[in-house]
Amino acid sequence: MAREEGNSSGFRVVDRRAFAANGSRKEDIPGEEEKGKAAAPDRSAPREPQGEPRGPYDEVSSGFETLVSYLSTTAMFQLGLIAGPSGERIPADMPNAKRTVDLLEVLQEKTRGNLTASEARLLEDVLYELRMSFVEMQKRQPRKSK
Protein backbone atom coordinates (compact mmCIF):
# COMPACT_ATOMS: atom_id res chain seq x y z
CA MET A 1 0.00 0.00 0.00
CA ALA A 2 2.95 2.27 -0.23
CA ARG A 3 2.14 5.23 -2.37
CA GLU A 4 4.96 6.76 -4.31
CA GLU A 5 4.24 9.80 -6.42
CA GLY A 6 6.51 11.90 -8.55
CA ASN A 7 7.77 14.61 -6.27
CA SER A 8 10.18 17.37 -7.07
CA SER A 9 11.32 17.74 -3.46
CA GLY A 10 13.28 14.49 -3.52
CA PHE A 11 11.40 12.99 -0.56
CA ARG A 12 9.88 9.54 -0.79
CA VAL A 13 7.15 8.46 1.60
CA VAL A 14 6.76 4.74 2.24
CA ASP A 15 4.11 3.27 4.53
CA ARG A 16 5.99 0.70 6.66
CA ARG A 17 3.29 -0.01 9.16
CA ALA A 18 2.83 -3.69 9.87
CA PHE A 19 -0.97 -3.48 10.03
CA ALA A 20 -3.53 -2.34 7.48
CA ALA A 21 -6.32 0.13 8.26
CA ASN A 22 -8.72 -2.74 8.99
CA GLY A 23 -6.34 -4.15 11.64
CA SER A 24 -5.11 -7.13 9.66
CA ARG A 25 -1.39 -7.81 9.41
CA LYS A 26 0.20 -6.83 6.10
CA GLU A 27 2.05 -9.60 4.30
CA ASP A 28 4.48 -7.42 2.38
CA ILE A 29 5.85 -4.50 4.34
CA PRO A 30 7.79 -2.08 2.10
CA GLY A 31 11.35 -1.56 3.19
CA GLU A 32 11.66 -4.85 5.06
CA GLU A 33 14.01 -6.21 2.41
CA GLU A 34 16.27 -3.21 3.04
CA LYS A 35 16.79 -4.17 6.67
CA GLY A 36 18.79 -7.24 5.77
CA LYS A 37 18.90 -10.32 7.92
CA ALA A 38 20.69 -8.91 10.96
CA ALA A 39 19.70 -10.53 14.22
CA ALA A 40 17.47 -8.45 16.44
CA PRO A 41 19.11 -7.31 19.67
CA ASP A 42 18.08 -9.08 22.87
CA ARG A 43 15.82 -6.62 24.67
CA SER A 44 14.64 -9.00 27.37
CA ALA A 45 17.29 -8.01 29.91
CA PRO A 46 17.70 -4.46 31.23
CA ARG A 47 20.53 -2.57 29.59
CA GLU A 48 23.36 -1.05 31.56
CA PRO A 49 24.95 2.15 30.27
CA GLN A 50 28.56 1.72 29.23
CA GLY A 51 30.52 4.94 28.91
CA GLU A 52 29.81 7.35 26.07
CA PRO A 53 26.72 7.02 23.88
CA ARG A 54 27.35 4.29 21.31
CA GLY A 55 24.10 4.07 19.44
CA PRO A 56 20.47 5.07 19.12
CA TYR A 57 19.46 3.39 22.38
CA ASP A 58 21.64 5.77 24.39
CA GLU A 59 19.98 8.75 22.70
CA VAL A 60 16.60 7.28 23.62
CA SER A 61 17.82 6.89 27.19
CA SER A 62 18.39 10.63 27.56
CA GLY A 63 15.02 11.16 25.86
CA PHE A 64 13.43 8.82 28.40
CA GLU A 65 14.91 10.78 31.28
CA THR A 66 13.70 14.01 29.67
CA LEU A 67 10.19 12.56 29.33
CA VAL A 68 10.12 11.49 32.98
CA SER A 69 11.42 14.91 34.02
CA TYR A 70 8.82 16.68 31.90
CA LEU A 71 5.93 14.64 33.27
CA SER A 72 7.10 14.95 36.88
CA THR A 73 7.53 18.72 36.54
CA THR A 74 4.05 18.94 35.03
CA ALA A 75 2.62 16.95 37.95
CA MET A 76 4.39 19.17 40.51
CA PHE A 77 3.04 22.25 38.74
CA GLN A 78 -0.47 20.74 38.78
CA LEU A 79 -0.09 19.98 42.49
CA GLY A 80 0.75 23.63 43.09
CA LEU A 81 4.29 22.83 44.26
CA ILE A 82 5.99 24.89 41.56
CA ALA A 83 5.32 28.54 40.83
CA GLY A 84 4.07 29.59 37.40
CA PRO A 85 6.25 31.29 34.78
CA SER A 86 5.69 34.71 36.33
CA GLY A 87 6.40 33.46 39.83
CA GLU A 88 2.74 33.31 40.87
CA ARG A 89 1.40 30.34 42.81
CA ILE A 90 -1.23 28.42 40.92
CA PRO A 91 -3.95 26.52 42.80
CA ALA A 92 -3.64 22.76 42.78
CA ASP A 93 -5.42 20.91 39.99
CA MET A 94 -5.77 17.52 41.65
CA PRO A 95 -7.65 15.67 38.88
CA ASN A 96 -5.02 16.57 36.27
CA ALA A 97 -2.17 15.90 38.69
CA LYS A 98 -3.62 12.43 39.25
CA ARG A 99 -3.80 11.87 35.48
CA THR A 100 -0.16 12.85 35.07
CA VAL A 101 0.95 10.53 37.89
CA ASP A 102 -1.17 7.79 36.31
CA LEU A 103 0.65 8.39 32.99
CA LEU A 104 3.98 7.89 34.73
CA GLU A 105 2.64 4.66 36.25
CA VAL A 106 1.59 3.45 32.79
CA LEU A 107 5.05 4.34 31.50
CA GLN A 108 6.60 2.32 34.33
CA GLU A 109 4.37 -0.67 33.64
CA LYS A 110 4.91 -0.65 29.88
CA THR A 111 8.70 -0.24 30.09
CA ARG A 112 9.28 -2.77 32.90
CA GLY A 113 12.25 -4.97 31.99
CA ASN A 114 13.38 -2.65 29.19
CA LEU A 115 15.03 0.09 31.25
CA THR A 116 18.52 0.48 32.55
CA ALA A 117 18.90 0.25 36.30
CA SER A 118 19.30 4.03 36.57
CA GLU A 119 16.21 4.69 34.41
CA ALA A 120 14.11 2.28 36.48
CA ARG A 121 15.39 3.88 39.71
CA LEU A 122 14.65 7.39 38.38
CA LEU A 123 11.09 6.44 37.49
CA GLU A 124 10.53 4.67 40.82
CA ASP A 125 11.92 7.64 42.80
CA VAL A 126 9.87 10.18 40.84
CA LEU A 127 6.68 8.17 41.31
CA TYR A 128 7.32 7.76 45.04
CA GLU A 129 7.86 11.50 45.53
CA LEU A 130 4.83 12.45 43.44
CA ARG A 131 2.57 9.97 45.23
CA MET A 132 3.65 11.29 48.64
CA SER A 133 3.15 14.89 47.46
CA PHE A 134 -0.25 14.01 46.04
CA VAL A 135 -1.39 12.47 49.34
CA GLU A 136 -0.07 15.50 51.26
CA MET A 137 -1.88 17.93 48.96
CA GLN A 138 -5.10 15.91 49.25
CA LYS A 139 -4.91 16.27 53.05
CA ARG A 140 -4.60 20.04 52.65
CA GLN A 141 -7.61 20.32 50.31
CA PRO A 142 -10.80 21.48 52.01
CA ARG A 143 -13.31 18.67 52.40
CA LYS A 144 -16.51 19.04 50.42
CA SER A 145 -19.60 18.64 52.58
CA LYS A 146 -22.38 16.42 51.26
Of 133, 122, 120, residue with least CA distance to 69: 122
Please report which confidence band the pLDDT of residue 136 belongs to, taking 50, 70 and 90 as the band edges: very high
Q: Rounded to 5 degrees, what are φ and ψ at 25? A: -75, 135
Q: Where are the domains of the chain?
A: 56-139
Q: What is the pTM of this model?
A: 0.56
Give which of 139, 58, 138 is closest to 98, Cα–Cα.
Answer: 138
Average pLDDT estimate for 89-97: 91
Mean pLDDT of 56-60: 52
Q: Which tens digit of pLDDT belongs to each residue from 4-22?
A: 555 566 777 766 777 776 7
Q: Which one-letter amino acid corresponds to residue 122?
A: L
Specify the range with the lowest mean pLDDT, choosing from 10-19, 27-36, 55-64, 135-144: 27-36
Q: Cβ neighbours of residue 101 under 8 Å, at least 6 residues apart?
A: 75, 127, 130, 131, 134
Instruction: Find, among 107, 77, 115, the residue nearest to 94 by Cα.
Output: 77
Residue 71 has pLDDT above 90, yes or no: yes
- Average the pLDDT over each of 52-61, 73-82, 134-143 and give the range with the smallest value: 52-61
The dihedral over CA atoms of 56, 60, 62, 65, expressed in degrees to the nearest 10, equals -160
> Which of 27 and 120 is assigned the larger pLDDT?
120
Residue of 105, 99, 102 whose CA lies nearest to 78? 99
Residue 126's closest CA among 140, 146, 107, 145? 107
Closest CA to 69 of 80, 79, 77: 77
Domain 56-139 fold: Methane Monooxygenase Hydroxylase; Chain G, domain 1 (1.20.58)
* Average pLDDT of the residues in 26-38: 56
For residue 43, pLDDT beyond 60: no
Q: Give CA–CA dist 26/16, Å, rounded.
A: 10
